[in-house]
Amino acid sequence: MTSVRTSAVALGRASTAGRVLLVEGVTKSFGHAPARRVFFDVSLELWPGEYIAIMGDSGTGKSTLLNLIAGLDLPDSGRILVDGEDVVAMDDAARTRLRRSRMGFVFQAFHLLPHLDVARNVGLPLALNGVRGPQAVERVRQMLEAVGLAARAHSFPRELSGGEMQRVAVARALVHRPKLVLADEPTGNLDADSAREVLQLLRAQLERDHAAGILVTHSLAAARTADRIYRLSREGLIPVTDGGAGGKP
């Protein structure tokens, strides 16, 4: 996709239609006097159905980059467009709406609400987007079926294994059919078999919905489930072409 990226950047603002994500020349620092730069001139473009992995040493800013894309933090400079909308320029309320309606998230620590059962956890993004009633119930049922947890709809998170909790989190990330799914070390707490299963599910769901996805991981095996692998460093986000991204096998 490097050629597409090059040509799109060359075209400048001519065409943003259809693109799920455009990150262009983004730089991020933390603190003041002196500010500490995390990364510089990061660019990335994703189209519907594209699924990429981002690797890189601890502290290189992978989670920070996902936060910027989600509009949870702001870059020092550069452009970030999600589904054609400028995340940096919009106000907080618009950012929250964009995040809720068009993005889905899977985290290492699951972040399931302990007092809600599996079905209610999965249904949260629908509730936040005002989808209720039979339509919401049916959509939750479909998602639980898709991740193999239909029989656990009324279990609570504490009654599930780590792998099952993460399958619930995948269902929750996709229940509202987001255009972009951000997964930050989603298999970091899982054994190898559960990790493989969760990543296969994530990939299958992204494909079915033609959604774009970013998987942040330290595991090369996990990264290889994506279409392309990038490595984040101080110099920016570089495509990995030799199949080895310096992570754990």
Residues near ligand ATP, by CB under 6 A? 30, 38, 56, 58-64
User: C-beta of 65: minimal distance to ligand ATP in Å?
Assistant: 7
Of 50, 37, 98, nearest in space to 71 by CA: 98
> Is residue 187 at the binding interface for Mg ion, with CB under 5 A as the rule?
no
Rounded distance between C-alpha atoms, residue 38 and residue 47, angstroms = 26
Contact present, 192 and 171 (Cβ < 8 Å): no
Among 63, 166, 187, 194, interactor with Mg ion by CB under 5 A: 63
DSSP H or E stretch at residue 100: helix 92-102
Rounded Cα–Cα distance for residues 41 and 144 (Å): 40
CA distances from 195 to 12, 33, 71, 137, 209 (A): 39, 42, 28, 28, 21
In the structure encoding, which two tokens stand for residue 129, read together?
Answer: 């987007």
Number of residues lying near Mg ion (CB under 5 A): 1
**Residue 66 CA neighbour count, 13 Å, CB half:** 23
Comparison of 143 and 229: residue with beta carbon closer to ligand ATP: 229
Q: Which is nearer to ligand ATP, 57 or 85 (CB)?
A: 57
| Smallest distance, ligand ATP to C-beta of residue 229, A | 15
Residue 3 touches which of Mg ion, ligand ATP, none (Cβ within 5-8 Å per kind): none
**Based on CB atoms, which residue is closest to Mg ion, 63 or 187?**
63
With CA atoms as reference, report the closest residue to 58 among 37, 28, 38, 78: 38
Which positions from 67 through 106 interact with Mg ion, judged by CB under 5 A? Answer: none
Rounded to a whole number of angstroms, the minimum distance from the CB of residue 224 to ligand ATP is 18
* Residue whose Cβ sits closest to Mg ion: 63
Spatial CA neighbour of 123 closest among 138, 105, 101:
138
Interaction partner, residue 64 (Mg ion, ligand ATP, none; CB < 5-8 Å by kind)? ligand ATP
Which partner from the list Mg ion, ligand ATP, none does 213 bind, CB cut-off 5 to 8 Å by kind? none
CB of 36 to ligand ATP, least distance (A): 7
Binding site for Mg ion (CB under 5 A): 63
